[in-house]
Amino acid sequence: MLPLLLALSLQDPGLQAEIDRAIDRGVRALLESQLVDGSWEFVRRESPCGQTAMCAYTLLRCGEAADSPAVRRAFAYLAAHEPSDKLAYNLSWLLMAWGELGTAEADRRMAPLLARLLDCQDGGGLFTYGDTPKPDLSNSQYAALGLRAAAARGLKVPAKAWQDLIAGVLACRERIRRGEEAAGFAYEPGRGGGPPPGGGPPPGGGPPPGGPGGATGSMTAAGIATLTVAEQALGRRLKSKQRRELEQARELALAWLGRNWSVERNPGGGPGGAPGGSPWLYHYLYGLERCGSFLAADELAGRRWYEEGARFLVARQDADGRWGGAVGVETDTCLALLFLKRASLAVTGESRGRVAAWGEADPAAPVSLRATGRGEVTIWLLAFGERELARLAWPGEEGRGLRVRRVEYLAGRAADELAPIGRVEGDPAAPHGDERFALRHRFGAAGTWWLRARVAVATPPAAAGEEPGEELLESPVLAIETDPVLAPEQLDWADDSAANLLLGAGGAAEASSQDAPDRGADAAADGSQATAWLCRAGDESPRWRLRLKRAVGVRRVRLSHAFNRLRDRGPDRPARAELWLNGHLAATLDLDPAPERKTEYLLPRRQRVREIELRLPGPARAPVGFAEVELLPD
């Protein structure tokens, strides 16, 4: 059985600091991309649970705390939106996410998910999309990870499922020709030239999107990793004949990777004209990570896979912290982070919780700040400048610090707009020594904050008998990033779409204008926070209206901004709206300015509503509107 523990060493020690910064920026980008209901957007809108589970799993593997606001909101969404389909991708990521959370509730939810995933395994051993009978290796690689997550939580995965999976994966390998010492894996059985399970012609249909029908890097890495997961799961139960066949196929596949090696493109996957480059590039890189981690290998095919891939990803990261391609920005960002974090390693004693820290000692600055934490932030004095220590120390106290009277901390949303947030008193009768004058502060909103410290230092008397003087030292401003503060109602928003009476009552929405074809009135009543109605810039009287086919009993109305991610602080959004019910003005609402918050109106009593209309002030300076209009029964 292959070892599960590995500690990779980097030949370039400086690279680790770059990797850590890239991970931190990528995690921040995911946090800022979360929608108001706790989900994440995906190109396949009918499968929001899979993308949200993928993001939740990635955040946890990258060290985000299980009780952080983003993670709690994500799992509240997953708990409220069990997927109705049997898509193997969705079920697999859900098993991985709940398994990583590791609570009693998570274990309870995993059992039915495992049963549904096993139902997706076809007679040849591979996994299908669930809604179509066609199996493939791409589905199967993630199904293997879902099965692995379930087994790690003590759920029973039948040995036959693993044995059949091995047979299915082996059917996707290239045909081994006499004298050849390399053979990769293809997307489907028979596509690589090898026989499909049970013989017969290869299955019909075209090649996978973005690549030809033969072996590719992404599928070869998938084949190696999946075979290794199954081998480890079976242990002694793996039959000798199948073990020999598995080991030979893995050796030939590793040789194929060596011959076609790249971390900048998916070998065999085509050049790719999308922003992300080669099709399925990030799936391929995550596949390499699983190969190296599951095999406990510093090198794959003689290449230092992690170091090469990490350099590429650090250089490829966008300015906003994300990685992106045709598959979907959130998906590619998750896969890049999982590679950089070496997420498939089973490391004992791994700490859960991402420690954020800002500020370094600058000997040339009068005083340097340090701050840690993202929810409650701790701020303290890290060091005084060399000149200040030499100039302001009292005689005989050199090397013991300065006499500090008080430290005032200031903060603001802009570097030139700071206000006091707290003060720590010092002892001017003695040098400060190791005292750091720490202040704990919880900021009221998430995002970038700028900090500064003003330190009043007692200076030696100018002459005997005189009072000590005072000098104010200021630190340079320090930028930090804070997490959202979780309000109790935000967890309730996770299932608003399921309770929204608009979605079941029928009717057609209309609007005064729309900014683009996909920004029509219906988008504000489709159950998705990722879509929105936006009026056209210049609309003199922006309004949105929906007349239902039948009246519904309403107690609350909730409105979501059209741009409701933390990263959406830039776009214009309405500040006020008139709410009309059944043709009568019900209220004029001051809309919450924070993009990640909903605005709620509680009706005086439960009311039967047949028509709802929202009127915005005009003319609109820019496209504005709503992602969702929700009518709730209580």
Residue 5 lies in a domain: no
In degrees rounded to 5, what are phi and psi of residue 156? -85, 120
Write out the two tokens for 167: 């047979």
**Terminal Cα-to-Cα distance of the chain (whole angstroms):** 56
Residues in Cβ contact with 357 at an 8 Å cutoff, skipping those fewer than 6 apart: 370, 371, 372
Q: How far apart, in whole angstroms, are the C-alpha atoms of residue 166 and residue 230?
A: 7
Q: Which domain holds residue 79?
A: 34-157
Q: How far apart, in whole angstroms, are the C-alpha atoms of residue 233 and residue 151?
A: 8
Q: How far apart, in whole angstroms, are the C-alpha atoms of residue 214 and residue 192?
A: 5
Q: Tell me how many domains the chain contains.
A: 3
Please give the pLDDT value at position 177: 74
Do residue 504 and residue 628 come from a single domain?
yes
Q: pTM to 2 decimals?
A: 0.82
**Residue 445 binned pLDDT confidence (cut-offs 50, 70, 90):** confident
Residue 98 lies in a domain: yes
What percent helix, strand, coil does the chain show, rounded to 5? 35, 20, 45
Question: Position of tokens 């591979």?
Answer: 126
Please give the pLDDT value at position 487: 76
Do residue 455 and residue 507 come from a single domain?
no
Here the CATH number for the domain that contains residue 510 is 2.60.120.260
**Residue 349 binned pLDDT confidence (cut-offs 50, 70, 90):** very low
Identify the H or E element spanning 88.
Answer: helix 88-101
Q: 307 has which bridge partners?
A: none
**Does the pLDDT of residue 356 top 60, yes or no?**
yes
Give the pairing type, strands 403-414 and 376-384.
Answer: unpaired
Q: How far apart, in whole angstroms, are the C-alpha atoms of residue 343 and residue 340?
A: 8
Residue 467 lies in a domain: yes
Residue 368 lies in a domain: yes
Do residue 458 and residue 535 come from a single domain?
no
Please give the pLDDT value at position 96: 97
Residue 302 lies in a domain: no
Higher pLDDT, 62 or 213: 62
Please give the pLDDT value at position 570: 64
- Residues 629, 544 contacting (CB under 8 angstroms): yes
**Residue 242 binned pLDDT confidence (cut-offs 50, 70, 90):** very high
DSSP letter at 2 equals: -
Determine the average pLDDT of the residues in 361-388. 92
Residue 459 lies in a domain: yes
Q: How far apart, in whole angstroms, are the C-alpha atoms of residue 251 and residue 559?
A: 57
Q: How far apart, in whole angstroms, are the C-alpha atoms of residue 82 and residue 103?
A: 17
Do residue 546 and residue 452 come from a single domain?
no
Half-sphere exposure of 452 (CA within 13 A, CB side): 19
**Residue 392 binned pLDDT confidence (cut-offs 50, 70, 90):** very high
3-state SS of 345-381?
Answer: CCCCCCCCCCCCEECCCCCCCCEEEEEECCCEEEEEE
Closest CA relative to residue 407, chosen from 368, 376, 445:
368
**Residue 190 binned pLDDT confidence (cut-offs 50, 70, 90):** confident
Determine the average pLDDT of the residues in 26-42. 91
Please give the pLDDT value at position 325: 65
Higher pLDDT, 412 or 278: 412
The lowest-confidence range among 107-116, 173-182, 343-352 is 343-352
- Residues 625, 524 contacting (CB under 8 angstroms): yes
Determine the average pLDDT of the residues in 544-566. 94
Half-sphere exposure of 248 (CA within 13 A, CB side): 13
